[in-house]
Amino acid sequence: MRTSSSEDIPIPGDYSGCILRGNFSRELKKRVAHSISCYQEAENIGSPAIQYLSAWKEKEKIIWYEFVGEQFRRLLMCDRGKEAEVFRDSILERRVYKYDDFDHEVQQEALDRTDLMKVRKKLRAESKKTGFNEAVYKVSLKGEGVVWLKDQAVVESYPRDHISLSHGCLMVVTKEMEVEEQLTKTETALHGANRELERLANLDGLTQIPNRRSFDRAMQREWKRLRRETGVLSLILCDVDDFKAFNDTYGHQAGDNCLRSVARVLNSQIKRPADLAARYGGEEFAVILPNTSAEGAFHQAESFRSAIEMLFIPHAGSSTGDYVTVSFGVSTFVPGDDAAPEALIAKTDAALYQAKESGRNKVVALLFEPDKGVNNGV
């Protein structure tokens, strides 16, 4: 044990720090020497904690250790004086756990090595301000592989010397973190499975477009939204003409393929996120068009009708020609308190009925006026 030449402060024989030999205040040197003595004593009696004393200068990126025990050095498998560099280069990830007072949940913040290097100075400033630092590090060590270390440290500032000290303690928590990671993976897989179940619950198994359940939800949602915004809502209902005759002639597998083809046409032509094409039931489909005028909805339905006819799906039992055709009903309304979505659906269904009764393979549009009933078709 040596002493500082300018001050009667002991310097350990294996000391590799800077402060005890540097031009710093007696207060700082005494604090460092006392801490080193305490940490050495703790290690000598076999403390499982890996204790350290690190330091850094304000406005500088360099951090160094004033004390590192043999436990830490053995873990890092490095030479004396290289601990800070080796530990920094071994970090794969840094995690911080914070309690959210609003959600009453523990939130996890993770930084990989690249991001950590960018914010090291900021993190030191935060720990200096709070006087405390707690994080979990995922590190890759020679001979040990991946190891998780929990770091808890008290930070002290010495403005006169422009130095900050971090009195830290590391604990190996690899087993605990492996359990946490496995739980996280399980939860992620569970959430993914639940999302897939939700998706399937809202998808028609045959046509792979939204089903009636999804349509009902979207209709309620858009009705409420457009009532608040005083927006216009258009609805299209369509039905494959003479579909029973098609099934009787070509079989149910061909009928399924026909419905898939019709669904593809409808789904491919809607472009906006709020638009929805759904299988309404049997050979009937529905298309929700928020903020679409009566004229715009009519033209969209006509585009659907023409595109389906141009598929040229043979239909020997059709009453309209040689190929599969579809009839369309359209209705448009500004949602308000004096009507419900079911009324718009009923009016659109009435328009579809008119299209079927007046010859099929056509579009009929009815304006929805709750107090006046059905307007003239377009």
The residues that are catalytic are 283
Question: CA torsion 325→327→332→336, rounded to 10°?
Answer: -120
CA 311 vs. chain centroid, Å, equals: 40
Q: What are the tokens at 196?
A: 């897939």
3-state helix, strand, coil in the chain (%, to 5): 40, 30, 30
User: CB pairs under 8 A, 24+ apart, for 346-354?
Assistant: 347/374, 348/235, 348/236, 348/237, 349/237, 350/374, 351/237, 351/377, 352/237, 352/238, 352/239, 352/327, 352/328, 353/329, 354/329
> What is d(CA 55, CA 166) in angstroms, rounded to the nearest whole number?
6
Single-letter amino acid code for the residue at 88: R
Q: Are 49 and 42 in contact (CB under 8 A)?
A: yes
